[in-house]
Structure 1
Amino acid sequence: MPPMESLSFSALLVLWLAGLLAGFVDSIAGGGGIISLPALLATGMPPHLALGTNKLQGTFGSMTAAVNYTRKGLVNLREIPSGVVFTALGALAGTVSVQLITADFLRHIILILLVGVFLYTFFTPDLGRLDRRPFITAPVFFGCAGLLLGFYDGFFGPGTGSFWTIALVMLLGLNLRKATAHTKIFNFTSNIVALGAFFAGHNVVISAGLLMGLAQMLGAFLGSRLVIRRGTGFVRIFFLVVVAATIVKLAYTTYLAR
């Protein structure tokens, strides 16, 4: 990976714009990684460096969105400490694992799951419109979902926000706007833990991550404000678009770009 000083102005501009757009998209429906990670790889970063740098820039965006949603009353921090703890544990295990082994074998499974999420959301128009009765208790949900999705986010990542959102809607009964807000708390948790592990493995390009991170903050602020103003109908449409884009991107890299 060339140092930042050797990158052209146009390359730096592309990284900044990628961070801005990724922060905007991620704060609404998750999936910002399908924008930011390819941009980092396009600079010539090896995969593990790109993954670590992506966590650095993504942490800025998820933190900004999480703070904005919490300030607007969409998240009660007293209700989710167990979810944060289990997500952190899962993310740590996943990040340590991905630095030791390849993540390629996960692609096929994740594609099937994302297609299922898309179809279920598309054919259930009232999904997440209103709060409803939880399917399981919060402690059980946060323990299972935190470990599983935290591990996945640390290990591989694409689609994590979509999985969190749909799980919060289906199993905890949250509406889509609240589910999106809670998703950012758990995204930030897994991002910051994974970032620490990547730093320990010397797999972060700090300058590139900070450049994109500043743009992420602006994009996340704008996106989260849009969700607060527009409500669940807007989130559902955006969610479907992002999940579809993630499916296309993963399908292309898995089956065609080889």
Structure 2
Amino acid sequence: MPLTILALMAQAAETTQTLAYHPPLWIYPVLTAVAMITGFVDSVAGGGGLIMMPVLFTLGLPPHITLGTNKLQSMCGTAMATFRYYRAGLFTLSGNLALLGVTFAGALAGTLTIQHFDGRVLALVVPVLLIGVSLYTVLSPRMDDTDRHDRVGQRGFLPVASAIGFYDGFFGPGTGQFFTTGLVALRGLGLTRATGLTKLLNLTSNLAGVILFALGGQILWVLALCMACGSMCGAWMGTHFATRLGARLIRPLLITVSLGLTGRLLWGWFAG
């Protein structure tokens, strides 16, 4: 791991020219507005990258710069959503420290691994998993705000959280859906409580990615921070409605985003 971090730091010198890129001024308000939309969607159901990533790629930046810039703005929006859900009493920090630890470690390992692996295999497997999430959300009586008996305990869920954290660092799309569905199906949480805890876990995995992207000099900071402001505003609005409407808002949006991500990933695979 120390050697990998040193390699990332050395790579920063190679990206200096890219980071000197200055987008046209109109890009900043446009991407800030887009980030508001993604922050809203992401705070409720996850999958904001479905909207943001195609827009960012139109700038013509290298993929790792695009991913790093998006990861920072996404983390800020997730931080706002996490704070709002915490204030609403949907989760506690003290009761989830072990989950946070394994999620962070998994995401760190995933971010390091993706640098040496072809992610196209996952691009074909993940749509199948997302279709499963959509079917479970539609058909399962558990996908409401009622807390039920868990099927696995806190310790039993640790490997699941670690695996999803690894996936977030490695690939990413659908992480929120996998966390939420796992917390409902395995831990017995009501959908709104599961969404709140999902944001805490997602914030943890995002933090691991941001650290490594920053060490590698792979973030356009000014653009990312402008987008972060929009993302935080969108997340504030999303959590406002989610805490009031609960499963009536979260369930249909979760289905829509899961199917949207499925279509986007399949299109990307077959389009090459």
TM-score bracket for the superposition, by shorter chain length: over 0.9
1:227 maps to 2:235? no
How many residue pairs match? The answer is 255
Structure 1 residue 146: deviation in Å? 2.0
Instruction: Give TM-score scaled by structure 1 length.
Output: 0.94
Instruction: Give TM-score scaled by structure 2 length.
Output: 0.90
The AA in structure 2 aligned to 1:37 is M
Aligned pair partner of 2:139 in 112, 123, 141: 123
Structure 1 residue 4: deviation in Å? 5.7
Supply the distance in 2 between the matched residues of 1:133 and 1:125 (Cα, whole angstroms). Answer: 13
1:70 maps to 2:81? no
Deviations 1:184-225 (A, max 9, x none): 001100001111011122222212211111111100011011
Supply the distance in 2 between the matched residues of 1:145 and 1:125 (Cα, whole angstroms). Answer: 22
Seen in structure 2, the aligned counterparts of structure 1 residues 2 and 189 have a Cα distance that, compared at 3 Å, is: closer
Aligned pair partner of 1:43 in 52, 55, 59: 59
1:109 maps to 2:125? yes
The AA in structure 2 aligned to 1:249 is R
Identity %: 37
Supply the distance in 2 between the matched residues of 1:192 and 1:120 (Cα, whole angstroms). Answer: 29
Question: Which residue in the other structure is 2:190 paired with?
Answer: 175
* Structure 1 runs of 4+ with >4 Å offset: 1-4
Deviations 1:102-127 (A, max 9, x none): 31111111011001111121122552
**Cα RMSD for the two superposed structures:** 1.4
Supply the distance in 2 between the matched residues of 1:196 and 1:131 (Cα, whole angstroms). Answer: 35
1:159 maps to 2:174? yes
Seen in structure 2, the aligned counterparts of structure 1 residues 241 and 101 have a Cα distance that, compared at 3 Å, is: same
C-alpha contact (below 8 Å) 1:4/1:208 kept by paired residues: no
Q: Secondary structure at the match of 1:91?
A: helix
1:10 maps to 2:51? no
Structure 1, gaps ≥5 residues long: none
Deviations 1:149-190 (A, max 9, x none): 111111110000000000000000001100000000011000
Supply the distance in 2 between the matched residues of 1:244 and 1:12 (Cα, whole angstroms). Answer: 29
Q: Secondary structure at the match of 1:189?
A: helix
Structure 1 residue 40: deviation in Å? 1.5
